[in-house]
Chain A
């Protein structure tokens, strides 16, 4: 048994248990130290992961656990997201009763995400997704003295349980028709399985469960309410880590396990992609709450990402990986700003952001960069990410006219989203009413996290070449002919 491959997951889980124990001996006023310790620990794990000590590519636990380029790429994303969320959450610590447990739960959710990136079996996939979801039920309702937080938790619980039920039903049907839950074994006989209606329904129901995680239409209903009700750092992690965990599985399934089927279903995926993108954009127009708006933005972005899945070519898979990396940094940047602004007040309305340009120029500048990148304005990461996704879809236009329609519809969604992203920027610099003028000052860890994100967003936009080649290498192992042979490929250093 090759269990040394799990060193990253093991270390993060150990860190979480350590934090849970250390919480017992630490005075409530000094709990913030736990977040610093956890972030430092994650940074160490990240250096192991990205450095020479990283586990080599291969499988463990009878082919259930897989380390490959895609897994390593997404593990970097998850570790970075967890670090930024922990740093930012220190600003929120006073409002989170039981902050030590909060830090531990963030770490356990990270373990779940790391496992989904490496899952090579439907059973492990389900269990690790549930680890993420169950942790988020608690995290979302963490401010239990606030009614909206508890309400969001209950909504997430009900939708999450329903989605999990669909998924586990789908997995039993897959097992019943394929007589295996292993991704490699299913990929090996996908041609034969594609003729079995039971297998098709099983796969469809599995995608229902994943569609809930990435908040794709028609499983998006929970998103705005939960994003608005949850504490801001939790929303940040939900929008980045949890979403990326859903997409790494969709990427692996669509490109690695059943590529023939997903090519056949590309019109279905395309339809849902377009509806999701347009739905998110149109509904975002009327919002006055920034967190709710980010919920609709998240739906809209899920639509763009599905466009890359529907494209079913090499550019599509690498574009999805690149888009997610850019999206994670951008969204974390925006939510870092939102966390600081909402940490003292009750509301996350546009008015809370009024005149932020004067109250804290740094915060306003950071938020502006994040929002402009989300909108997709040229020199920033968001522009190149969208450009590449659209290019992946454009490559298919020659053989399928519907892709042209989809690209045009997605462009409409992008243009609409300009309006609401710039609405926040207008509120920050040119407020309608003279809003409050109390200055807000982000603490040093928040500043550090924001500067990191700003640097990443600008660098990815100006010099996308480096990340592009990393993303290409990451998805190179996917594809129809891969099964176990892919492990001979040299390990990809993910940064």
Chain B
């Protein structure tokens, strides 16, 4: 009899896969807005997985930042560009064959690796609340954190440069 958390894991993982599939290949609708909404649902299912891993802060951020802010941005862009329904593209036999081969090969390797993997003996190492996370971020991972700030500055400069109307 599997534990309750195991059942929850399978439920969230199954939902994430289902919504992910509907996001990229929805048989009922080809509208980009529907895809974006399914992406939101995928992200919420992933947040559930984070909670099962005791990463509470990440789960909250996942919902707030990704499902909330980033997806609203996506929807804004889709609506601003006024994207219509995607045309159904004709798939050639070769394309389907090559794609299927790649998917099967990668899936095969991954499944074999996952089956062979040994779970970590000591269980969960860090409780994913804000305090331990912040401590790690400002001690062990301080340097990458600071480099990230430079990266964000570069991204900001770039966005302004590329979108400004007139550059002197």
Interface residues, chain A, with chain B CB atoms under 8 Å away: 6, 13, 20, 28, 60-62, 64-65, 97-98, 101, 104-105, 108, 111-112, 115, 121, 123-124, 126-128, 130-131, 134-135, 137-138, 141-142, 144, 173, 176-177, 179, 196-198, 200-201
Complex CA gap A98/B161 in Å reads 7
Q: Do A127 and B147 have beta carbons less than 8 Å apart?
A: yes
B113, B151, B154, most chain A CB atoms within 10 A: B154
Per DSSP, are chain B's interface residues mostly helix, strand or loop, or mixed? helix
Given contacts A177-B117, A196-B117, contact A105 B140 (CB under 8 A): no
Given contacts A123-B144, A196-B118, 14 further A-B contacts (CB under 8 A): A98-B161, A115-B147, A121-B144, A127-B148, A134-B158, A137-B158, A138-B154, A144-B162, A176-B117, A177-B117, A179-B120, A197-B117, A198-B116, A201-B110
Q: With an 8 A cutoff between CB atoms, is B167 at the interface?
A: yes
Report how far A142 CA is from B158 CA in the complex, Å.
9
Contact with A along B108-138 (1 / 0, CB 8 A): 0110111011101000000000000000000
B133 to chain A, nearest CB (A): 14
- Cβ < 8 Å to A, chain B residues 148-168: 148, 150-151, 153-155, 157-158, 161-162, 167-168
How many Å lie between the Cα of A160 and that of B68 in the bound state?
A: 26
B interface residues (Cβ-Cβ under 8 A, vs A): 109-110, 112-114, 116-118, 120, 139-144, 147-148, 150-151, 153-155, 157-158, 161-162, 167-168
Residue numbers in A under 8 Å from B167 (CB-CB): 97-98
Interchain CB contact under 8 A, B151 and A141: no
In the complex, the answer to whether B157 meets A104 with C-beta atoms within 8 Å is yes
Chain A residues positioned under 8 Å from B114 (CB to CB): 198
22 A-B residue pairings within 8 Å (CB atoms)? A6-B143, A20-B157, A62-B139, A64-B140, A64-B143, A64-B144, A101-B157, A105-B157, A111-B150, A121-B144, A124-B144, A126-B144, A127-B144, A127-B147, A128-B147, A131-B147, A135-B154, A135-B158, A138-B154, A138-B158, A196-B116, A198-B113
Give 3 nearest A-B pairs by CB, closest first.
Answer: A138-B158, A197-B113, A97-B167
Q: Is the CB of B113 within 8 A of A201?
A: yes
Question: Which chain A positions have C-beta within 8 A of B157?
Answer: 20, 101, 104-105, 138
List chain B residues, Cβ under 8 A from A179.
Answer: 120
CA gap between A197 and B114 in the complex, in Å: 8
Closest chain B residue to A98 by CB distance? B167
Q: Is the CB of A131 within 8 A of B151?
A: yes
CB distance from A464 to the nearest CB of B (A): 36
Contact partner, B154, options A97, A105, A126, Cβ 8 Å: A105
CB distance from A24 to the nearest CB of B (A): 11
Q: In this complex, what residue of A is CB-closest to B122? A: A179
CA distance A20 to B150 in the complex (A): 13
User: How far, in angstroms, from A201 to B113 measured CA to CA in the complex?
Assistant: 8
